[in-house]
Amino acid sequence: MRFDTQAIHIGRSVDLSTGAVSIPLHTSTTFQRGADGSFPSGHEYTRDSNPTRFAFEQAMAALEGGREGIAFASGMAAIAAVLEAHPSKGRVVLPDDMYFGIRSLIRETDIGRRFEFVPIDMRALDRVRTAVQDKPTGLVWMETPSNPMIRVVDIAAICQIAHEAGALAVVDNTWATPALQRPLDLGADAVVHSATKYIGGHSDMMAGIVVVPATSPLERPLQMIQKHKGSVAAPFDCWLALRGLQTLPVRMRAHCDAALKVAEALSKSPHVEQVLYPGLADDPGHALAARQMSAFGGMLSFVVKGGEPAAMAAAGRLKLVVRATSLGGTHSLIEHRASVEGPESTAPGGLLRMSVGLEDGQDIIDDLIQALAGSGD
């Protein structure tokens, strides 16, 4: 089956007991034993396994080209599990433009005390090579495109560098989704998603998932963290994620089409200093993104002339685009990342990060243009 068909069918079949086409939601926490004490359904207790969660895990594994999916309660729970599960060398090389939630995880929990974290600019492959060779390294973490600077890094090349140094390579594929990018095919040892975003697609559920290929050293440790630490994705959230997967391919095409139009319009605005979007031909990541992605995604950032005051004022004048955290839903969302992240933010003061939704592209553009025009008053 091709990708669009897999998104609808993998892990799901017509319910034999009722004929229902939509997969049932199984909320039961426990499952009946057989007369001999076994579990003929394959399920014992919902923390260990659940039919709805299992279907979601199967579907995501298939879409990413992996063998197993391990679903968690949130994207951050999935990230924390990977950091805990990686080999005990205790050293993690990761991007200096990492998702701010990871910075907070390192700073505010025991994760930061248990492992050494080395942030670098991963666009420079020589810096990646030096970092992993400097000391024994267990894990190389990638985000591409990155949050919020929309940087693109070479997955295949970094995977090769990591493997030559005896490290595992993991990619956060939340922004691209398997509809646009397949890191396992490029050599990654695991793929991580905040399914809350594009996978669910409607801003109404929360889950995370890690997909691993065959013979992955991360598979068993991740499954044990999921089971014994109890950070499992809830059945209803998995059901919503499965609903979202059915439209993921068509939604991503719409997000990408609109985002490119918005980026092109913003690049012509006299009130915008810079547009960060790999779909633009002059973007530093354009050529690489064109090689490893099938389209350029629905996320962009732009820097408003006049710095933070002008960016905050423009965001406040928006009427259609919603000023809110998160991304990947039907609504276009915008956020001033520096003020959200605080003093440790690496985002420029004038930067606004935008998730381009499924509204008519011209309506989104019109709203942005009127809001920016006011910033010059």
Neighbours of 75 (CB within 10 A): 23
Q: Which of 97, 154, 172, 189 is catalytic?
A: 172
Q: Is-catalytic flag, 172?
A: yes
Q: Which of 12, 97, 99, 283 is catalytic?
A: 99
Q: Is-catalytic flag, 99?
A: yes
Q: Which of 197, 251, 337, 353 is catalytic?
A: 197
Q: Which of 47, 67, 227, 261 is catalytic?
A: 47
User: CA–CA separation, 231 vs 225, rounded Å?
Assistant: 8
Among candidate residues 316, 91, 56, 360, the one with its CA nearest the CA of residue 199: 56
Amino acid at 144: T
User: CA–CA separation, 313 vs 209, rounded Å?
Assistant: 37
Q: Is-catalytic flag, 2?
A: no
Among candidate residues 63, 105, 60, 104, the one with its CA nearest the CA of residue 82: 105
Decide if 228 contacts 183 (C-beta within 8 A): no
Catalogue the active-site residues.
Answer: 47, 99, 172, 197
